Amino acid sequence: MSTLHTEEMTLNMGPQHPSTHGVLRFVIRADGEVMREAIPDVGYLHRSIEKIAEKVGYHGFMPYTDRVDYVCAMFTNQGWGMACEKLAKIEVPRRGEYCRVIAAEFNRIASHLLAVGTMGMDIGAFTPFVHALREREMINDLIEELCGARLTFNYMRIGGVAWDLPPGWREKALAYLDHFDPILDEFNSLISFNKIFVERLANIGVIPAEEAINYNLVGPNLRGSGVKWDIRKDLPYSVYPDFDFDVPIGQGQWGVVGDSMDRYMVRILEMKESVKILCQALTRIPSGPVLAKVVRNFKPPAGECQIRVESARGDMGWYVVSDGTGYPWRVHVRTGSFAAMGLIQKLSRGLMIADLVALIASLDVIAPEIDR
Amino acid sequence: MQQLIEYVIASGMLGKNPPYQIVAAVVVLLASAFVVLVVALPFAGIVTWVERRVWARIQSRIGPNRVGPQGFLQWLADGIKLICKEDIVPTDADPHLFKLAPYLVMLAWILPWAVMPFSSALILADLNVGILYMTAVTAVTVVGILMAGWSSNDKWSLIGGIRSAAQIISYEIPAGLSIFPVVMMTGTLSMERIIKAQGWTPQHWFLFANPFCFIAAGILFVSALAEGNRTPFDLPEAESELVAGFATEYSGMRYSLFFMAEWGNLFIIGAIIATLFLGGWQAPRVSADPVVMNILQLIVFNAKVLFLVFLSMWIRGTLPRIRIDQLVTVCWKYLVPIAFANLIGTAVWVALWPEGNSVMGYLMVALGAALVVLFMRRVIYYLRRARMELYFRPNI
C-alpha cells in the first residue's frame, strides 16, 4: 500500500481576519489543522508616529501618543509626559502624580478587561467578552468624566494632568471599586475555571522564563513565565513607592509555567492589584495643584533621556533626544507587543490553527502598538 | 393521514371515484408543503429571534427590540433583507456545487418533519422505521456542508467543511448507539409507538426508566449538539478561527439558508430527545374529545422541545469552543465506549425486567429532582452574590 500523498497548505490569515485584533497578518504553513509555522507580517498599521513628533513639538505630540496604544492611552500619555519632564527637569505636583496613577490604573483595568474578554471570544465564548466590556464601559464612563474622552484620552500634560478630579468623582470611583471585586469573582466563575477554557489554554504556547527574557518579553507576558519583574516595583517611578501591592506571576497551576493560561491568570490577578492601588490612591490623594508651571513655548535643554513606564502591555520605553529647539530631534517608543510578535513564529510550530488564535490573544498584542 | 385521504375521496371534492394513488399524492404533497411553509420555516425564523433575545439577556444586553413587539418580527426583516441582497458566486468556485450545497443542507432539515410526532394524530407519516429515518436524513447535512466548503475554493471554507465531516460522522455513532436503548425497550422504531410506550408523568418517561437511559439521553444531547454544529462544538463555522467556516464565501439568501437550517435543526434535536426520552406528546387525559386532546398534546410536545432548544441556547451562552482534537477525543475515547456499555446494560435490564421497574422510575425521578434542586441552589447563590444594580446603572 502506498503512502497517502499529502500537501502542505499555505494559509493567509489576516489582515482582515476576525481574531487578529486589528490589522495583523500571518502567513501560516499548515499540514491540515496542525501548523508547521506561522510567520507574522507586521506593518499594516504603521503611521510614522515617531516622525510626527519631530514636526508637531512637545505639547502638540501629546494627543498623538494616545494613538500609539489606544487601549491603554493613559500610559503612553504618561510616558511622553515623564520623558519631557525629565529632559526639562520639571517637578510634577504631588496631586498631579496621584491623578496620573489613578487614571493609569483605571486604564490598566480597562485594558486587561478587554484582553481577557477578547481571549474568551477567541476561544469561542462570547458572553465573557460582553461582560468584560460592560465593566470596561463603566470605567470609560468614569474616565470620560475625568477628561472628556473614552478612548484617546489626552488627559496628561507635560508637568501634570490637564484637569483635577471633578467634584464627587472620588466617591464614585471608590463605589465602583467596591462593586468590581465581586464582579471579577463572577467573571472567574463564568470563564476562568471553565474546564473547556482551561483545557484550551493550559500547556499551549509555553514560554520558559529564560526564553521570555531572551526574547525581551515584558509586562504580563514576562510575568506569566514566572519572572517577577515590574517597573512599578523594580524601577519605581511616579508615586508607586507609596502603595502596597503585589506583583502576580505565573504559577503553572494548570499546566507548565509560562503557558497561555498563566498569562491569562496574571492579567486577572493584576486587575485585583490595580484595585488595591486605586483604593489606596483614592483615599490618600493629597490636595494641591495638579499641573506644574510649564511655558507654552516648551524648549528643553539639549540632551537625551529615556524613561520606562509599566503599561498594561508591559515595559514601555520612551527615548527622546532634544537639540534645544521647540521640536524633538528624535523620538523612539519601545513597546511590548512588538517583542511578543517575534516569538510567535517559534511558538507556533506544531500548534493547531485554533491554538494560534489562543496564543495571539494570550500575548495580548495590539496592532497599533506593534507598528506605531 | 389515511383518514384524511379517505375523507377527501368520500366528500367528492375531486369528482366521483378518483384514483386513490393520485388523491393520496395530492394530499401528502399539500400537507408537506403546509408543514414546511407554515410550521418549519417560520419556526426557524422565530428561533433566531428567541436565540438572539435569550443570548442577549444572558450577556446583559437587550437584543433586537425594534421591529414589531419586542423585536418579534426581526427574523422577517432579516429574511427580506437577505433575499434582496446580491447572490455572489466566486469566480473560481465550482458554480453548480456551490449553488446546490445550501439546498442539500435545507433538505436535510426539511425531511425529518415528515415523521415529526406533534400529537397522536398530527404526524405526516408514521413510518415503522421513523427514528432510523430521522437519523438517516439529518446526516445528509454533512454532504451539503462538505460540498459548500470544497466548492467555495477557499481554504478557510475547506477546513470548515472537512472539520464538519469529521465531526458529524464521528458523532453519528454515539448518537445512534444512545437511540438503541429505547428501541430495545420498546421493540419498535416508530415515533408514535415509542411515545405510546411512555406515560405523561415523569416516572413513565424513558429518561427515568433506568440509569442507562438517563446516561443515553445525556450522550444523545451532546452528540446532537455536535451534529447540529452548536457551541461548544461549532468548529465548522468557528468565527474566531475560520472567519465563517464553510459559509465564508456565501452571501444573501444562500448564506441564510445555512443558518436557517442550523437553527431549524435545534427543533429536530429537541424533537428527537423529547420523543425518545421525555414522553413526547403524552398529556394527561383531561377530555374525551380528540380535538381537545390533540391540541393539548401539541402544546405539551412543543413545550418540551422548546425547553430543550432553550437549554442549547443557554449552553451556547455559557461555554467556549473546544478544539478539533479534543472534539474527536471526547467522541471516541469517552462517548462511544460509554454508549456501548449503556447498550449492554440496557440489554441486561430489559432481560431482567421486561415490563420495566416502577421503583427505579420513582428513584430516578427523585435523583433528577435532587439534581435540579442542587442546580437551582447554585443559581440562587450566584444571583445573590451578583450585584444586579450594577448591570443596569453604569454610573452607579
With an 8 Å Cβ cutoff, are A194 and B395 in contact?
no
Which of B58, B324, B387 lies nearest to residue A179, judging by beta carbons?
A: B387
In chain A, where are the structural domains located?
Answer: 51-363
Q: What is the pLDDT at residue B396?
A: 37
- Main-chain dihedrals φ then ψ at residue B113, nearest 5 degrees: -65, -20
What are the DSSP calls for B161-179, one per residue?
HHHHHHHHHHHHHHHHHHH
Q: What is the pLDDT at residue B387?
A: 61
Alpha helices in A124-245 (DSSP H): 126-147, 169-187, 195-201, 209-214, 219-224, 231-234
Which residues between 313 and 352 in chain A have a beta carbon less than 8 angstroms from any beta carbon of chain B? Answer: 352
Residues A272/A199, Cβ–Cβ less than 8 Å: no
Residues A186/A135, Cβ–Cβ less than 8 Å: no
Q: What is the pLDDT at residue A146?
A: 87
With an 8 Å Cβ cutoff, are A11 and B239 in contact?
no
Per residue of chain B (396 residues), give pLDDT as tens. 667 777 777 776 666 666 777 777 877 778 777 777 777 777 778 888 888 888 888 887 788 888 878 888 888 888 888 888 888 888 888 888 888 888 888 888 888 888 888 887 777 777 888 888 888 888 888 888 888 888 888 888 888 888 888 888 888 889 888 888 888 888 888 888 888 888 888 778 888 888 888 888 899 999 888 888 887 888 777 666 777 778 888 888 888 888 888 888 888 888 889 888 888 888 888 877 878 888 888 888 888 988 998 888 888 888 888 888 888 888 889 999 999 998 898 888 888 887 777 788 788 888 889 999 998 998 888 777 766 655 554 443
Q: Phi-psi region for residue A202, left (φ > 0), alpha (ψ -120 to 50) or beta?
A: beta
* B241 CA: distance to closest CA in chain A (Å): 6
With an 8 Å Cβ cutoff, are B394 and A352 in contact?
no
- Main-chain dihedrals φ then ψ at residue A331, nearest 5 degrees: -130, 135
Closest Cα partner for A307 from A297, A296, A298, A315? A315
Higher pLDDT, A107 or B37: A107
Report helix, strand or coil for A157: strand
Residues 6+ away with beta carbon under 8 Å from B262: B228, B229, B230
Cα-to-chain-centroid distance, residue B119: 17
- Burial of residue B152 (CB within 10 Å: 0-12, 13-18, 19+) is buried
Q: Phi-psi region for residue A203, left (φ > 0), alpha (ψ -120 to 50) or beta?
A: left
Which residue of chain B has the CA closest to A129?
Answer: B59
Q: Distance between CA atoms of A363 and A340, rounded to whole angstroms? A: 7
Report helix, strand or coil for A306: strand
Total residue length of chain B: 396
CA distances (Å), origin A208, targets A224, A314, B247? 9, 18, 39
Percent of chain A at pLDDT exceeding 90? 3
Q: Distance between CA atoms of B141 and B230, rounded to whole angstroms? A: 14
In chain B, where are the structural domains located?
Answer: 85-356
**How large is the C-alpha radius of gyration of chain B?**
23
Which of A18, A179, A355 lies nearest to residue B396, judging by beta carbons?
A: A179
State the amino acid at position B333 in one-letter form.
K
Report helix, strand or coil for A317: strand
Closest Cα partner for B262 from B225, B310, B303, B232? B225
Peptide bond into A15 cis (omega under 30): yes
Q: What is the pLDDT at residue B395?
A: 41
Please report where in the chains the cell 506583583 appears, as a residue: A247
C-alpha grid cell, residue A35: 501548523
Is a pLDDT exceeding 90 seen at residue A22?
A: no
Which residue of chain A has the CA closest to B389?
Answer: A179
- Enter the pTM of the model: 0.85
Q: Is the dihedral of CA A345, A351, A353, A358 positive or negative?
A: negative
**A–B: how many Cβ contacts below 8 A?**
102
A186 in B contact zone (CB under 8 Å): yes
Q: Which helix (H) or strand (E) holds A320?
A: strand A314-322
Cα-to-chain-centroid distance, residue A106: 12
Q: Distance between CA atoms of A24 and A46, rounded to whole angstroms? A: 11
Which residue of chain A has the CA closest to B330?
Answer: A196
User: What is the β-pairing status of strands A160-161 and A156-157?
Assistant: antiparallel
With an 8 Å Cβ cutoff, are A182 and B59 in contact?
no
With an 8 Å Cβ cutoff, are A200 and B323 in contact?
yes
Which residue of chain A has the CA closest to B315?
Answer: A125
Q: Distance between CA atoms of A16 and B270, rounded to whole angstroms? A: 37
A26 in B contact zone (CB under 8 Å): no
A295 in B contact zone (CB under 8 Å): no
- List chain B residues with CB under 8 Å of A186: 382, 385-386
Which residues between 127 and 186 in chain B have a beta carbon less than 8 angstroms from any beta carbon of chain A? Answer: 155-156, 159, 163
Residues A71/A117, Cβ–Cβ less than 8 Å: no
Higher pLDDT, B31 or A217: A217
CA distances (Å), origin B220, targets B270, B305, B327? 10, 14, 15
Name which of B229, B323, B334, B387 to mutate to probe chain A: the one with the most chain A Cβ atoms within 10 A of its Cβ: B323
Report helix, strand or coil for A300: coil
- Main-chain dihedrals φ then ψ at residue B59, nearest 5 degrees: -95, 15
Q: Distance between CA atoms of B131 and B115, rounded to whole angstroms? A: 8
Q: Is the dihedral of CA A135, A141, A143, A148 positive or negative?
A: positive
Which of A122, A172, A352 lies nearest to residue B396, judging by beta carbons?
A: A172
State the amino acid at position A250 in one-letter form.
G
B59 in A contact zone (CB under 8 Å): yes
- List chain B residues with CB under 8 Å of A187: none
CATH architecture of A51-363: Orthogonal Bundle (1.10)
Residues A276-329 pLDDT 10s: 899 888 888 888 888 888 888 888 888 889 998 888 888 888 999 988 888 888
Residues 6+ away with beta carbon under 8 Å from B7: none
**How large is the C-alpha radius of gyration of chain A?**
21
